[in-house]
Amino acid sequence: MQLKLIVTFLAVTGFIVFLIPEVNASENSCIDCHKTLSPFLEVQKQFNQIRIEHLERNVSCSLECHEDRVRQLATANYQQWSESLHGLKGITCEVCHGGYPNESTKEKAHIGIKKPTDTDSPVYYTNVPNTCGRCHTKELSSFQSSKHYQRLEALKTAPTCTTCHAPHTFRVLNPEDFRNFCGNCHSVYKKVAPYDIPVQADYLLGKVNKLKFNIEMANQDIFWAKKNGTDVTQAQSDVDNALATVQNLAPMWHEFNLTHFEDEVDSASKDVQKAEEIVKPAQTPLSTPAPKAPGFIGLFALMAVLAALHIMKKNRN
């Protein structure tokens, strides 16, 4: 019985295989399967057709070239750059990569451009600080005095500018990012660098935000004090000094000297406090009045209570 079933199965399988025509590249692509799993947009179908044509010509097809348009735009270097502050200010590719943007052909436009893995490339990771420093001079000066820069020069394995500010997005890190980025080295598990640095950095940025808020409040108080005729010259000078310190904190951050950074924040906070003392002088606390001796009404009430207690005691007896 089992032999009969096996023979029947093989016969049916052979019959099906005989009827199925030879499968070509387009029918054997990933597209044929995924078309049955989810509907494709028109633009996705166009990319899929390109993949099929490549497969039919035995051309290696890369998903990085023909991925879904939405994902492609979200990850493309051009898209990232166009949404960055560099893009908004018109800082274009050749500023960092070199080349000739005015040439009409790809070959001429790319003359002199080296791959990022080439040690002579301006975007080779050890050359990145000097490339960025052509515009960001203060940040470069601070970074060159840091331990990060010293390790980068000596060991070639330390952070560079694009470690924190990803290429083409150039995004400034938020406090919540520090645990992810700094934690790659500053980790209790990896033991490459002091593990508490990300926590300290988060704390200091919180102090900076508080300082900025206090400066805004002080400026408002100065405005109203001036309206009321108060001499606010010194107060305004103190707040201006604090604001100048805040504006220099971003370049100073690249020293990665958190002690110096905190000292500057605290100094600016003291300037704001001095300004507030001028425009909002502390009020003298009111003296607590001495307790008054009980008057006639108080004595009469006390005598009435004693008399009532005396009568109650007498009735009990």
Q: What is the pLDDT along the chain (317 residues), one digit of tens a residue?
A: 544 544 454 454 444 434 444 434 344 233 333 334 444 455 555 666 666 666 666 655 554 454 455 455 445 677 788 788 888 888 888 889 888 888 888 888 889 889 888 989 999 989 999 999 999 999 999 999 999 999 888 877 788 898 888 888 888 877 777 777 787 788 888 777 788 888 888 899 899 999 999 999 999 999 999 999 999 999 999 999 999 999 999 999 999 999 999 999 999 999 999 999 999 865 555 555 555 555 556 555 666 666 666 666 666 65
The last residue of one of the domains, among 18, 37, 71, is 71
In the chain, the number of structural domains is 3
pLDDT of residue 260: 94
Q: Are residues 89 and 150 in the same domain?
A: yes
| 293 inside domain | no
Alpha-carbon separation of residue 314 from 38, 307, 308, 310, 317 (angstroms): 101, 11, 10, 6, 5
Residue 25 lies in a domain: yes
- Per-residue model confidence (pLDDT) at position 202: 87
What gap in Å lies between CA 163 and CA 90, rounded to an integer? Answer: 23
**Same domain, yes or no, for 85 and 164?**
yes
- The residue from 71, 100, 125 where one domain ends is 71
Cα angle vertex 168, ends 165, 174, to 5°? Answer: 35
Both 218 and 147 in one domain: the answer is no
Q: Which two tokens stand for residue 19?
A: 């009827």
Q: Which amino acid is at 281?
A: P
Name the one residue in this structure whose structure tokens are 């840091």: 146
Are 97 and 144 part of one and the same domain?
yes
Model pLDDT, residue 251:
92
Q: How far is it, in rounded angstroms, from Cα 98 to Cα 116?
A: 12
Task: Looking at the structure, tell me whether residues 147 and 82 fall in a common domain.
Answer: yes
User: How far, in Å, CA of 199 to CA of 197, rounded?
Assistant: 5
Residue 133 lies in a domain: yes
Q: Is 148 among the domain residues?
A: yes
Q: Do 168 and 81 reside in the same domain of the chain?
A: yes
The crossing angle, in degrees rounded to 10, of helices 137-144 and 147-155 is 70
> Could you tell me if 9 and 59 lie in one domain?
yes
**Does residue 314 belong to any structural domain of this protein?**
no
Judgement on whether residues 62 and 17 belong to the same structural domain of the protein = yes
Residue 47 lies in a domain: yes
Decide: helix, strand or coil at residue 235: helix
CA atoms lying within 13 Å on the CB side of residue 130: 9
Range of the domain at 42: 2-71
In whole angstroms, what is the distance from residue 55 CA to residue 63 CA? Answer: 12
Residue 21: per-residue pLDDT: 42
CA dist list (Å): 62 to 40, 55, 58, 70, 285: 19, 11, 12, 16, 76
Same domain, 203 and 272: yes
Q: Is 192 a member of any domain? A: no
Structure token digits, residue 118? 């080439």
Predicted confidence at residue 28, as pLDDT, reads 27
Q: Are residues 65 and 101 in the same domain?
A: no
Domain boundary among 53, 71, 89: 71
- 222 and 136, same structural domain? no
Query: What are phi and psi for residue 181, nearest 5 degrees?
Result: -80, -55
The reply to whether 298 falls in a domain is: no
Predicted local distance difference test score (pLDDT) of residue 218: 95
